[in-house]
Structures are given as C-alpha cells and as structure tokens.
Structure 1
Amino acid sequence: MALNQSKAFSLRDIPSLDGRVAIVTGGSDGIGYATTLQLVLHGARVYIVARSSEKATQAIANMRQSAPEKSLDIHFLQADLQSLASVMQVAKRFNEKESNLDILINNAGIMAAPYGLTEDGYETQWQTNYLSPFLLTKSLLPTMTSTARKNGPARIINVVSDAAFVPITPDLDLENPNLDHLTGFMAPWKRYCHSKMAMVLLTHHLHTLVTRDDNAMNNIKTYAVHPGFVETNLQALDPTLLGKIVKFSVRWGLVPGKVSREDGARTTLACATSDEWPILEGSGGFFRPFGQRDKQGDALVEKGRESKMEERLWDASEQMLKDKGF
C-alpha cells in the first residue's frame, strides 16, 4: 500500500524546531496533547487552540511539569469549532500576536456524534471536522505564505482517518453536506466518514493551489494524516450500542493496530517536521503510521478527477462561509 517508502518515523527523528511557530487545534488532549508536547520540547513556540480554558490551562501545566528543566514556549487560544465567528476570532488574535506560522495542525475533531446543528446551521461533525478547519486554514494562509518565503517550507497537517475510504462513506454531497436525510444507527458514522473524506480532498486541493504559482507559496506542504487507532475522547460521543462496542474494543485492544497517543502523534510529527524526501515529495498525500504514504488518498483523488470533485468542494466551502457572512 505504501508509496515512496521511508523508514518508520520515531520521536527521536524530530529535529530542532527553534524559531518555529505552530498551531495545534485540540492540543489539550489525546493525540493533540502528545503532538504539542513534542513540538515544544524540540523548541517550537506552540499555540493550543481549544474550547475549554480550564482544560487547556491544566494541559499546559502538565506539560511544564513533565519537563521542569525546560522553558516550554506554549500558549492558549480559545475557540469553539462549532462557531465560525469564534474561528475567525482565533485567527485574528493569532495574527495580532505573531507574524510567522510555520506549522498548522488541524487535529481537533469529533466522531459519530448524534445529529445536531451548530449555531451556524451546519451539522456538528461537518463543521467541526471540515468547515471550521477550512476557514481557519484559509484565514492563516497569507501568514503561512509570507513565512514560507522567509523560512522555507511551512506545513499544513490535517488529521483525518482511514474511515474516509470505508465502503459506508457517502459520496461527497455538497448540496446537503449535513446529510440530514440519513437515518439509523450508522448515520452518525456515515457523517463522520463524509467529513473526513472532505478533509482528504481539501488537503490535496490545497497542495494543487499552492504549487500552481512559481513563487514561495509552493513552499507550503500539505498532508492528510491517519494517526492509527488511539483511545481518545473521540470514541465517547456515540451513545448507541455500536458506539459502546467501538469504545470497548479500542479500550481493550480488540481493534488491530491500537497505538498509544504518543505513537498516534508520530505520523503528524513526521509530516510537520521531517525533511526526508519521501515526506517532502508526498505533499498533498495521505499518510498512515508511522510516516508512510498510502495510495488510498491518491485513489480517492483520481476517482474524483473527472468530476472535478476537489474544485467543487473548494467552491462550495467558500460559498458556505459567504452564506454566513465570512
């Protein structure tokens, strides 16, 4: 399955990140916590974006306690991904504080949540897993472009799932991204898969956009990352019997390939920091543990090439934002 194979990425392979600035959404828990900790331990200035101030403050305290000999450069920006206005505000606050952004990691997400609408009128998984990260990324692209001109490759990492490729994943529905017609116990999972498929397509389209020009913007690298099966709060949202079975299976290691949150962060960190050729050349692609490119993403892109699925997704996403005044 792997293309352009490189050795499995280890935490020991993370280079010095002194002078680098990063944003990690959902950086106060699970894989995001492990990712953030490694970035700051290796010298980056990291901004955690999270909804809960209390949780983020505790996470930062725990990180500092785990490395008392180091001065960790870590900060908190409060945002709710179920509010587009909140996402815009966090981008504005970041740009008021920093002129550079080397690494953007869209890590936050929800899984198989019961059907509900955000304050903006979008299904919660569609907005949290796709539309809000789209808005945040688009809002920060100018900063990343200028950073790439000065510092070399900037990186956008979208944490997705290989659920984007399972048979239950609906075709991309841009007329009704809320998928409110779906019923039954599998409906929340289908919406989850749909949102993750959109992120895989967005990742490749971003790569296409930033490499069309000959200027320094092509120093932005983009990656869709499947972290592996990690026990996190993601599995707690589906109240149905299926959700309980999934949570039990992951917790007790009944899912093949279950990894720790530290191992779950390895592929994200590989794409965010590695200068190995298979990583750099793999911009726009889908990566699985641990830092290996996988052809499933390429197959999805090829499937939609004739219908211009990526371009339609981008245009529809911009229209969704415009409809809400953004």
Structure 2
Amino acid sequence: MPSTFSQAFPPTPTFTEKNVGSLKGKVFIVTGAASGVGYELAKLLYGQGGTVYIAARSSEKVDRAIKSIKASVRSSKGDLAPLILDLADFPTIKNAVNEFLREENRLDVLVHNAGLMTPPAGSKSKLGHNLEMATNCMGPFILNHLLEPILTRTAHAESTPDRVRIVWLSSMITASVPPGGIQFDEKSGSPKILRNAMQNYMQTKVGNVFLASEAAKRLGGDGVISMSVNPGLMKTELQRHSPKIQSIIMGILFKPPLFGAYSELFAAL
C-alpha cells in the first residue's frame, strides 16, 4: 500500500534542478513539451543550460512555449528549438528527425513524454490505426528507431558511461490494466481496441514499458540506458477528454505538472 500511494501521489522530490550541474553542450528532445509535464521538464533542462528541442504537433503552441520558457528563465545560457511532429502521423516523424539531424551531431537524452488518454471512441490515426496506440506506442517506436544511430554515436563519444538515456513515460500499470498487459487480436496480431476506455489507455502504457525494456536490451551494449517511469498522478491536458466532474476532482487531488517533471528529470539524469 505505501508503494502504491507514493506512486499515485509522489512525495516531495529529493532530486531537483538544484542537484543538476551545468548541462551546457548537452542536447535533449522532449516530446509533448509545449504544455504540461513536458513543458516543465523543458524549462528545467533549459534553465541548467541544455539545448532542448520542444517536440509537438502545433508550431503555434511550440513557439508560444519557447517564448514563455525564455521569459521565465532569463538567465539561462541554453537554447530552445522547435521540432514539429505528430506521433500519430508517421511521415511527420521522419521529416522532424531529418531536420534535427541537419542541426545536431549529438543527442544525450530522448524523453518520450507525449501521450493521449481516452479520446472519443473510434478515434483513428491518418493511417487507420487506433489513435491512442498510434500516439502512445507506434509513433514513439518509430521516433526512437530513427534516432538510435545518433544516440549510440553520442554514447560512444562519452568518456563517462550511462549518460545517454531514453525515458519512456508510463503510468500506474498496477491499476486498470487488462489481463496480460496488452490484449492482441488473434487474426490480425494487432492490439485489440477495448471497450473499457481506461483499460485501452493503460495497455498503451504497458506498451511503453515493453518498448523501454526492448530498447534497453538492444542498445544497452552501446552504452544507452532505456527506462520507463511512472511520473505520478498530475493534473494536465492529458485529462482533457475526461468528464467535467472527474476533471474537477483531479484538479483538487492531483499535483501540478512540475512534480511529474521532477520524476522525468531524475530518470533522465
């Protein structure tokens, strides 16, 4: 019970930006960083001098986030850059990666922060996949695959091991998870679309754990650490599709996004 409670409601963090030295010269990509937990993480990394790519779908939201972060952290010697991609629209991922590789020759940390929870029933991606699974698992898998070469090159160039990391945002996978973690359709081999909206979301979060584990097996020998992390229960835009009364209760009980960002910061550094 204590472990479950602390996962749901994280205690006061013991690792914050005060424990982080200069990140000058380090390069980070944070998906979904135009708002919520990702925005707060980007602010923390930028505040310590890191180069942070704000990856999100909307150029307007990204530009607004960059202006807001720069206005609130005026003393930073870091850099902020846009990376426009839609995790559910796979061609945009490749375009964004190509753009990133034209600008950078290293990538120290990739944070798969973006996510979608309980969209309207029947929501599909442009290629016809379940929108939740495409956004939370398939898109991040493609992004990760395309960035693996630069991650491993960066790890090989580092004199200190274990500095290059991939962080996958999961959730409380001890709750509302369907039997087996992910239920697959026997005919198609694809994950089933479940009637229970929260179970459907939670099996994508189990998918993040599976992806983190598989990336760890594949890239660990090259000095890249891959891990999944439960950031705790936060009130963010992730719950925008929730019923109004549920959203109100979450706003009262849950902690602000900064606490989730501290969980990510610990995992990343």
Same fold (TM over 0.5): yes
Q: Does 1:159 align with 2:151?
A: no
2:21 equivalent in structure 1: 15
How far did residue 174 of structure 1 move?
Answer: 4.0
Distance 1:174 1:87, change over 3 A: farther
Q: In the alignment, what sits opposite 1:234?
A: 238
Map of 1:188 onto structure 2: 197
Q: How does 1:61-76 map to 2 (within 5 A)?
A: 61-76=67-82
Aligned mates of 2:190, 2:198 — CA distance in 1: 14
- Structure 2 counterpart SS, 1:252: helix
Aligned partners of 2:234 and 2:257 also within 8 Å: yes
1:208-233 deviations in whole A, cap 9, x for unaligned? 2223x4xxx1x111121111111111
- Deviation by residue 1:100-144 (Cα, 9 ceiling, x = unmatched): 000000101111112311011110110101110011011100100
Aligned to 2:262: 266
Q: Percent identity?
A: 29
**1:16-95 matched pairs, under 5 angstroms:** 16-95=22-101
**Residues 215-230 of structure 1: matches in 2 within 5 Å?**
217=222, 219-230=223-234
Change (3 A) 1:144 1:72: same
Query: How far apart, in 2, do the equivalents of 1:41 and 1:224 lie?
Result: 24
**Runs of 5+ consecutive residues of structure 2 not aligned to the other structure:** 5-12
SS in 2 for 1:145: helix
- 1:190 Cα offset (Å): 1.4
Give the structure-2-normalised TM-score: 0.88
Pick aligned residue for 1:206 from 209, 215, 235 = 215
Secondary structure at 1:111 match in 2 = coil
User: Who is 1:143 aligned against?
Assistant: 150
Query: Structure 2 CA distance, aligned partners of 1:60 and 1:51?
Result: 14
User: Please, what is the CA RMSD of the aligned residues?
Assistant: 1.8
Q: Shift of residue 25 of structure 1?
A: 0.4
Question: Aligned-pair distance for 1:170?
Answer: 4.5
User: Which amino acid is 1:179 matched to?
Assistant: K
Q: CA deviation at 1:205?
A: 1.7
- TM-score, L = length of structure 1: 0.73
1:156 alignment partner AA? I
**Structure 1 residues 168 and 155, CA gap change in structure 2 (3 angstroms):** closer
Aligned partners of 2:135, 2:39: CA distance in 1, in Å? 18
Query: Counterpart in 1 of 2:244?
Result: 244
Q: What's the CA shift string for 1:184-222, capped at 9, x where partnerless? A: xxx2211100100011111112112223x4xxx1x1111
CA displacement, residues 36-58 of structure 1 (integer Å, 9 cap, x when unaligned)? 01111111111111111111111
Query: Which residue of structure 1 aligns with residue 7 of structure 2?
Result: none
1:77 and 1:134 map into 2 onto residues whose CA distance is: 17
Give me the whole-angstrom Cα distance separating, in 1, the residues matched to 2:216 and 2:24: 26
Which secondary structure state, in structure 2, belongs to the residue aligned with residue 141 of structure 1? helix
Q: CA separation in 1, counterparts of 2:78 and 2:157?
A: 24
Q: Which AA in structure 1 matches 2:164?
A: A
Q: Please say if residues 123 and 178 of structure 1, whose CA atoms lie closer than 8 Å, have aligned partners that are also in contact.
A: no
Q: 2:118 matched to 1:112? A: yes
- Give 1:15 deviation, angstroms: 2.4
CA drift at 1:13: 1.4
Measured in 2, the distance between the counterparts of 1:201 and 1:82 equals: 19
The structural deviation recorded for 1:10 is 2.6
Q: CA deviation at 1:73?
A: 0.3
1:179 maps to 192
Tell me how far apart the structure 1 counterparts of residues 214 and 191 of structure 2 sit (CA, whole Å): 22
